[in-house]
Amino acid sequence: MQRFWTLVGGQAEYKKALQLDPNDATAHQWYAQDLATIGGREAEALAEISRAHQLDPQSLIISQAMGDIYSFARRYDDAIAVCKKLAYDNPTFAEAHDCLRIAYRGKRMYREFIEENKIFGELTGDSNESEFAASLEQGFRSGGWKGAVTKGIEVREAHRKRGYSSAFEIATLYAELGDKEQAPLARYCLPRTRP
What DSSP string runs through 86-139? HHHH-TT-HHHHHHHHHHHHHTT-HHHHHHHHHHHHHHHT-HHHHHHHHHHHHH
Range of the domain at 77: 1-110
> pLDDT digits over 128-164, tens only?
999 999 999 999 999 999 999 999 999 999 998 898 8
Same domain? 7 vs 96: yes
> What is the domain count for the chain?
2
Cα 156 to chain center, whole Å? Answer: 17
Are residues 130 and 47 located together in one domain of the fold? no
125 vs 167, higher pLDDT = 125
Q: What does the mean pLDDT of the chain come to? A: 89
Region of poorest pLDDT, from 17-26, 72-81, 102-111, 171-180: 171-180
Q: What residues contact 41, with CB distance under 8 A and at least 6 apart?
A: 35
pLDDT digits (tens, 9 = 90+) for 8-20: 677 888 999 999 9
Among 106, 56, 166, CA closest to 174: 166
* Portion of the chain with pLDDT greater than 90, in percent: 73
End-to-end CA distance of the chain: 30
